[in-house]
A and B are shown apart, each in its own frame.
Chain A
Amino acid sequence: MSQTFYKKGFLALAVAAALGVSAFAQADVKIGVAGPMTGANAAFGEQYMKGAQAAADEINAKGGVNGEKIVLVQGDDACEPKQAVAVANRFVDQDKVLGVVGHFCSSSTIPASEVYGDAGIISITPGSTNPQVTERGLSAMFRMCGRDDQQGIVAGDYIVDVLKGKKVVVLHDKDTYGQGLADATKAQLAKRGVEPVLYEGLTRGEKDFSAVVTKIRAAGADVVYFGGLHPEAGPLVRQLREQGLKDVKFMSDDGIVTDELVTTAGGPQYVDGVYMTFGADPRLLPDSKAVVDAFRAKGTEPEGYTLYAYASVQALAAGFNGAKKNDGEAAAEWLKANPVQTVMGKKEWDSKGDLKVSDYVVYQWDKDGKYHQLEKQK
């Protein structure tokens, strides 16, 4: 008997709590933050949440959006397209968000943005760089980062001009993001007169790439370019070095911008000298100084996409404030017509939702497992 009582009691409590929360939250501006909160790429989801939360706190402290407070809702897509659509549907139907910061993997952002598009919700991705994200005519899809075709041009030029690559191997992880980027780099290399000696795909989730590494050795490559993410990039570069290819230069993309690259590679000695393309470090901009100092004062380093997520929330808030109503379509229209002052400087978007100016530069990892923007870019 007492058991039934407890069960009923808990049920009543749970119902009361649920009602209470939703009634309280009705007056807020809900913004969904979606990315890989779990899974191999959870480091990026963590950066998203950290940046978005800090931005929301700051905006709320300054009066919020049209007088209402921003409340963040977390969505975990684990970089799985299916799960991304489920998260998007939950955001739309259950959480009733007004805007979305996300997703991370382009293969997740693309299907999820269809759901947001149908619901008239504005979304802005801090990190999805595949061209198709903004090429499908969605009116309220934005990005806070550059595009792979721009990133590929920078990578291709750098391989030809600075690394003097003659025998270049181009690898990818068969995913929308990685392969798109590898293709863009390959196209730019072709334009500069370099035909890759090897162009192949790896399988995401595997750790043994020794067969491909031996093939790279057989091809006598001098530069290896990898379009993909750190869970594969780490073991790949380690196995290159272990098979005796110490002088082959390794270049990758903005999918490896996390300290976890050192973990997946098995130590800083393996990532030493690795090149990568990424937006110019927002931590070095004068606009970000106050925010970066605030993060460091709390003992966290705003690495990778943290400030991108921060700026994305700022852009959403600016859009709602500029349109003077909390409506996705109106905010999107306003953002395409007006520049926004963000933590990453002044940003402007074109009619597709792409940034008008992209700022890809080349970074290099050092023997202590840290990355630095290179001075010599051309």
Chain B
Amino acid sequence: MDGIFLQQLINGLTLGSVYGLIAIGYTMVYGIIGMINFAHGEVYMISAYLAAISLALLAWFGIESFPLMILGTLVFTVVVTGVYGWVIERVAYKPLRNSTRLAPLISAIGISLILQNYAQISQGARQQGVPTLLEGAMRVDIGSGFVQLTYTKIFILVAAFAGMALLTYIIKYTKLGRMCRATQQDRKMASILGINTDRVISYVFVIGAAMAALAGVLITMNYGTFDFYAGFIIGIKAFTAAVLGGIGSLPGAMLGGIILGISESLFAGLINSDYKDVFSFSLLVLILIFRPQGLLGRPHVAKV
């Protein structure tokens, strides 16, 4: 394996891990209330603005060291974005819980437009940017070639996988996770057994938003630039990742994100970048033809 190929693999892995983080929000919400939250990409966009605001605030208070800055930014962004997720669910989806399936979908599109315009009006239409936080890179020689890894990219990989591991732990081993899984399996039964399903649904929105916020901080660190429209493309990609991995399945979202990122990166790197999206979506179509439930999704069983 030469350096170039390995480099492309790592490029794809970083991109894919971020797709995976955002895909978690789509897949968890779908799993629990069977609705696609089209406003999720915009939640990510809001978190990018929050990250920039937090960095500016910290710099204003004179905090300059990297660990403090990133920790402060992460906490601030995750908490505030979580509040956004909670409010969106309360305002736009909860009142529509018992209406037709299409109603919350339309309301999600509305929320997405509101958030975009809100960011544009309150923060201006210009491109926003943050200064580079973590400079420098690591160079690993492999045979005749080499792999160049910026410290930012290493940080992204570590943080993304730590986030995913933490979430998997919460869902698998905590009381909150058990409530989530129970509500996902059968909402009515869960509520009969004394689980406050409305509250669990709120938690799921907060968790999804928090994961999007983690992605928002990481992407903002890596690319340094964003605007109010930034949530659109990445939202579509993350949604694709969720469907690819099997919508409703948590490991599926992470796997789907990584597969999407790597396939994009390898196709662009080895063949042609003009058609990389064509390739990713063809892959999606192929997988859905042979496995309509996605890679790790469970086949739909009609309840009698």
Binding site for B on A (CB under 8 A): 37-40, 42-43, 174, 200-203, 205-208, 210-212, 214-215, 217-218, 230-231, 234-235, 238, 242-244, 260, 262-267, 269
Is B15 in contact with chain A by the CB < 8 A criterion?
Answer: yes
Nearest Cβ in chain B — how far from A207, in angstroms?
A: 4
- Whether B233 pairs with A211 at a CB distance below 8 angstroms is no
- Whether B269 pairs with A215 at a CB distance below 8 angstroms is yes
Chain B residues, CB < 8 A from A212 = 268-269, 273
CA distance A210 to B269 in the complex (A): 9
CA distance A212 to B270 in the complex (A): 9
Nearest Cβ in chain B — how far from A348, in angstroms?
A: 36
Chain B residues, CB < 8 A from A230 = 127
A39-B229, A217-B4, A266-B223 known; 14 other A-B pairs, CB under 8 Å?
A: A43-B126, A201-B274, A202-B273, A203-B233, A205-B232, A211-B12, A211-B268, A211-B273, A215-B268, A215-B273, A231-B227, A235-B224, A242-B148, A264-B224
CA distance A42 to B146 in the complex (A): 40
Of B53-61, B128-136, B291-299, the segment with at least 4 beta carbons within 8 Å of chain A is: B128-136
Nearest Cβ in chain A — how far from B269, in angstroms?
A: 4
- Whether B7 pairs with A38 at a CB distance below 8 angstroms is no
Nearest Cβ in chain A — how far from B259, in angstroms?
A: 15
> With A244-B148, A265-B224, A266-B225 known to touch, is A211 a contact of B11 (CB < 8 Å)?
yes
Chain A residues, CB < 8 A from B230 = 207
CA distance A211 to B264 in the complex (A): 8
> With A203-B277, A205-B232 known to touch, is A214 a contact of B223 (CB < 8 Å)?
no
Is B185 in contact with chain A by the CB < 8 A criterion?
Answer: no
Chain B residues, CB < 8 A from A208 = 11, 15, 223
Nearest Cβ in chain A — how far from B284, in angstroms?
A: 17
CA distance A210 to B137 in the complex (A): 14
- Tell me the chain B residues, 214-235 only, with Cβ under 8 Å from chain A: 219, 223-227, 229-230, 232-233
Interface residues on B, range: 35 or more
- Whether A238 pairs with B224 at a CB distance below 8 angstroms is yes
Is B125 in contact with chain A by the CB < 8 A criterion?
Answer: yes
Nearest Cβ in chain A — how far from B238, in angstroms?
A: 13
Nearest neighbor of A215 in chain B, beta-carbon distance: B269
- Whether A38 pairs with B232 at a CB distance below 8 angstroms is no
CA distance A266 to B219 in the complex (A): 13
- Whether A218 pairs with B127 at a CB distance below 8 angstroms is no
- Tell me the chain B residues, 91-136 only, with Cβ under 8 Å from chain A: 120, 124-132
CA distance A39 to B273 in the complex (A): 24
Nearest Cβ in chain B — how far from A54, in angstroms?
A: 21
- Whether A174 pairs with B274 at a CB distance below 8 angstroms is yes
CA distance A231 to B229 in the complex (A): 12
Nearest neighbor of A268 in chain B, beta-carbon distance: B131
- Tell me the chain B residues, 153-177 only, with Cβ under 8 Å from chain A: none
Chain A residues, CB < 8 A from B125 = 37-39, 42
Chain B residues, CB < 8 A from A265 = 224-225
Nearest neighbor of B128 in chain A, beta-carbon distance: A263
Contact with A along B175-196 (1 / 0, CB 8 A): 0000000000000000000000
Chain B residues, CB < 8 A from A234 = 127, 225
- Whether B265 pairs with A211 at a CB distance below 8 angstroms is yes
Q: Which of B127, B232, B274 has the most CB of A within 10 A?
A: B127
Q: Which of B7, B125, B130, B269 has the most CB of A within 10 A?
A: B125
Is B276 in contact with chain A by the CB < 8 A criterion?
Answer: yes
- Tell me the chain B residues, 44-81 only, with Cβ under 8 Å from chain A: none
- Whether A214 pairs with B11 at a CB distance below 8 angstroms is yes
CA distance A218 to B8 in the complex (A): 11
CA distance A191 to B148 in the complex (A): 36
Chain B residues, CB < 8 A from A262 = 129
Nearest Cβ in chain A — how far from B116, in angstroms?
A: 10
Nearest neighbor of A45 in chain B, beta-carbon distance: B125
CA distance A217 to B5 in the complex (A): 11
Nearest Cβ in chain A — how far from B142, in angstroms?
A: 13
Chain B residues, CB < 8 A from A202 = 273
Nearest neighbor of B272 in chain A, beta-carbon distance: A200
CA distance A208 to B276 in the complex (A): 12
